[in-house]
Amino acid sequence: MNDVHVRIRSFLHTKQCPCAFGEIAEGVCLDAATLRVELHTLCREGFIEEIGEDSFVCLHEADQKIAPRVAENGIVHA
Per-residue pLDDT of the chain in tens (78 residues, 90 and over written 9): 223 333 344 444 444 545 444 333 444 555 667 767 777 777 787 777 777 766 666 665 544 444 444 444 444 444
Note the residue count of the chain.
Answer: 78
Integer Cα distance of 3 and 74 in angstroms: 9
> Domain of 27?
5-77
- Rounded to whole angstroms, the Cα distance separating 35 from 12 reads 8
Q: Rounded to two decimals, what is the model's pTM?
A: 0.44
Number of domains in the chain: 1
Q: Phi first, then psi: what are they for 24, rounded to 5°?
A: -80, 130
